[in-house]
Amino acid sequence: MPMFNVNAHRIDPYKNFRFQVVWDGQVVAALSKMSAVKRTTEAIEWRAAGDSGIVRKMPGRTKIEPVTLERGLTHDKQFLNWANQVNNPDGNAANSLLNYRKTVRVIVHNMQGTPVMAVNLLRAWVSEFQALPEFDSNANAVAIETVKLECEGIVIDDSVTEPAET
């Protein structure tokens, strides 16, 4: 069975460094790293009294792991503005109950920069915001700011299909 429907000649999977993250219709600037999008379902073990010691398993609660976004430190305030909608330094009355949850779109690109897949993280919100990294005057690195997102659903967008490659 071919790994790709449209490009049956292709044997190489997509690379993990060609991606974009979008919310509120804007691409997240200077994004350098994103943790895995992962859903885990707990196993409930049970055994019937008359069984010969066989432990059976059935699905239990499902949870979606937090997704962490890292980007180079810039003057763009997307991370800060969203984090402030969840926990505003001006007090609880300044929190945005309307806007603190967003749909976050992750778009995977092929090497030509064409979108090949998209995943939507539903009802996401910022649970952790790191404004500044640890600084080290002896290091040779980029300053990174991060947000950790909690979400309640993962949906593959079937409208983004495999493009024919040239």
What is the tens place of the pLDDT at every residue in 79-91? Answer: 999 999 988 778 7
pTM for this one?
A: 0.85
pLDDT at residue 18 in the model:
92
CATH architecture for the domain at 1-35+62-166: Roll (2.30)
- Tokens for 90, please give them: 């001006």
Amino acid identity of residue 129, one-letter, is: F
Write the pLDDT tens digit of every residue in 20-78.
999 999 999 889 999 999 999 999 999 888 777 889 999 999 999 999 999 999 999 99
Write the pLDDT tens digit of every residue in 113-161.
999 999 999 999 999 999 999 999 999 999 999 999 999 999 999 999 8
pLDDT at residue 1 in the model:
66
**Separation of alpha carbons 134 and 132, rounded Å:** 7
